[in-house]
A and B are shown apart, each in its own frame.
Chain A
């Protein structure tokens, strides 16, 4: 498809793709925020939820925080490589980020498997409902981000559409940011 001329214009000075990603993130902030604000007010209104939260596994959550932080690093290094026109290095770093996403999901599925087998299902009580909802919504974003990253990496390897490396990177940092807040909300505050 030929890109319309409209796509190549930049009246604000921010390239169109990046501007759109910022808008995506703005609307994602309110989606996650609505859920997390609802969670926080329930949590404050129900002090007894602290006892349920005691059953989350901070080691799994902590490991995943580390994994996501590191995958954010590889994403930004990929961006740096793309800025310098090194599409191959950018693609490799993006693939490394995908490995991070996969690790995150594997850790998460072990964690969920143990929690569910101990009876802490999504219907167990309010805390676990919010726990699975928030982490699940975040997990869907991890999966979506990783899939998009594969396409971007395939293009970048051929030195095509290198600006997209930055775009998926910004999105990935946002996913990381959400987890930075989910981690204390779900695992640490007890």
Chain B
């Protein structure tokens, strides 16, 4: 039996049951996404750190879920595609878990990374300790080496 017979079967997205929704469904999802975006945008104005983080990243995850499910049609895609994408996301967490102890911490058992610890920390932070929500006016390059501080300004002037 020649494979010519089946060769042209199952080709193209037209064979899939992908056209399940009307345009109105997608517009509705878009509306939800815009509302969620508005909440995540408004979050920081409350000035409460935990709420900022929740509205920022919690909502990002919800938005990502909505886009993946409705726009990318992962809900009606084969299961292995979803698994593939989840595995790749899992690899990132693996990478983060393996690497962050070295990069995030500046000291540990028998080692210290003073350079990284002290790098670029503006004076008021070194002395006051607090980091979040620092007042404006701390130019980003303030604590850097003098050459570094001067160069960006010069470039900006051009």
Taking the complex as a whole, does A directly touch B, i.e. does some CB pair lie under 8 Å apart? yes
Question: Would you mind naming 22 contact pairs between A and B with Cβ atoms under 8 Å apart?
Answer: A5-B3, A5-B7, A8-B8, A15-B11, A29-B85, A33-B88, A33-B92, A33-B95, A37-B95, A44-B104, A51-B138, A62-B41, A70-B30, A72-B71, A76-B70, A80-B23, A82-B13, A163-B13, A173-B72, A188-B41, A188-B56, A190-B132
Contact B88 A77 (CB under 8 A): no
User: Closest 5 A-B residue pairs measured CB to CB?
Assistant: A47-B131, A184-B56, A83-B19, A33-B92, A45-B104
Q: Can you name 10 extra interface pairs (CB under 8 A) apart from A166-B13, A176-B71?
A: A9-B7, A37-B92, A48-B122, A52-B140, A79-B18, A80-B21, A83-B13, A119-B139, A120-B152, A126-B120
Residues from chain B with Cβ under 8 Å of A33 in the complex: 88-89, 91-92, 95
Q: How many residues of B contact A (CB 8 A)?
A: 84
Contact B103 A163 (CB under 8 A): no
Contact mask A117-160 → B, CB, 8 Å, 1/0? 11111011111100000000000000000000000000000000
Residues from chain B with Cβ under 8 Å of A77 in the complex: 23, 26
A2 interface residue (CB < 8 Å to B): no
Name the one of A22, A76, A120 contacting B140, with C-beta atoms under 8 angstroms: A120
Contact B13 A183 (CB under 8 A): no
Residues from chain B with Cβ under 8 Å of A181 in the complex: 60, 64
Contact A38 B103 (CB under 8 A): yes
Name the one of B10, B15, B140, B144 contacting A51, with C-beta atoms under 8 angstroms: B140
Residues from chain B with Cβ under 8 Å of A176 in the complex: 67, 71
Q: How many residues of A contact B (CB 8 A)?
A: 80
Q: What total of A-B pairs shows CB separation below 8 Å?
A: 222
Q: Taking beta carbons and an 8 Å cutoff, which residues of A are in contact with B?
A: 5, 8-10, 12-15, 18-19, 22-23, 25-27, 29-30, 33-34, 36-38, 40-42, 44-48, 50-52, 54-55, 58, 62, 65-66, 69-70, 72-73, 75-77, 79-80, 82-85, 116-121, 123-128, 162-163, 166, 169-170, 173-174, 176-177, 180-181, 183-184, 188-190
Q: Taking beta carbons and an 8 Å cutoff, which residues of B are in contact with A?
A: 3-4, 7-16, 18-19, 21-23, 26-27, 29-30, 33-34, 37, 40-41, 43-44, 52-53, 55-57, 59-60, 63-64, 67-68, 70-73, 77-78, 80-81, 84-85, 88-89, 91-92, 95-96, 99-100, 103-106, 116, 119-122, 125, 131-134, 136, 138-141, 143-144, 148, 151-153, 155-156
